[in-house]
Amino acid sequence: EAQVTQNPRYLITVTGKKLTVTCSQNMNHEYMSWYRQDPGLGLRQIYYSMNVEVTDKGDVPEGYKVSRKEKRNFPLILESPSPNQTSLYFCASSFEPTGMPGTQYFGPGTRLTVL
């Protein structure tokens, strides 16, 4: 089944404790992205990647890191989480062979609470 998976789905942690949220897609998509969803703010893009070893900042990259060492995986790293990073996180991927925007496929989300 074609899908985007995220782990963990739920995480409660404490301020300053490094964590990684994994994202994996099995559709051979080149494009991947991370978003956070907050009430009243909608989705905001954190980072995106247009290919292996190619990443760029979205609108809210502060406090986050990403890496894209292989096509299927795009982990989100919080080196020193803070309470304002408590949010619902989504990973997405898409295929754009002609250079025109494709359909983004979203993962199920990761609910992160930082105490």
Partner 1 sequence: AQSVAQPEDQVNVAEGNPLTVKCTYSVSGNPYLFWYVQYPNRGLQFLLKYITGDNLVKGSYGFEAEFNKSQTSFHLKKPSALVSDSALYFCAVRPPSGTYKYIFGTGTRLKVLA
Please say which residue, 69 or 100, places its beta carbon nearer to partner 1: 100
Neighbours of 6 (CB within 10 A): 20
Chosen residue from 8, 79, 108, 115 binding partner 1 by CB under 8 A? 108
How near is the Cβ of 33 to partner 1 at its closest, in Å? Answer: 6
β-sheet bridge partners, residue 42 = 38
How near is the Cβ of 31 to partner 1 at its closest, in Å? Answer: 5
How near is the Cβ of 57 to partner 1 at its closest, in Å? Answer: 9
β-sheet bridge partners, residue 105 = 93
- Going from the C-alpha of 98 to that of each of 17, 55, 101, 104, 110, the distances in angstroms are 42, 20, 8, 15, 31
User: Hey, which residues between 27 and 86 contact partner 1 (CB under 8 A)?
Assistant: 31, 33, 35, 40-45, 48-50, 56, 58-59
Contact in structure between 92 and 4 (CB atoms under 8 Å): yes
> With binding defined as CB under 8 A, does residue 87 bind partner 1?
no
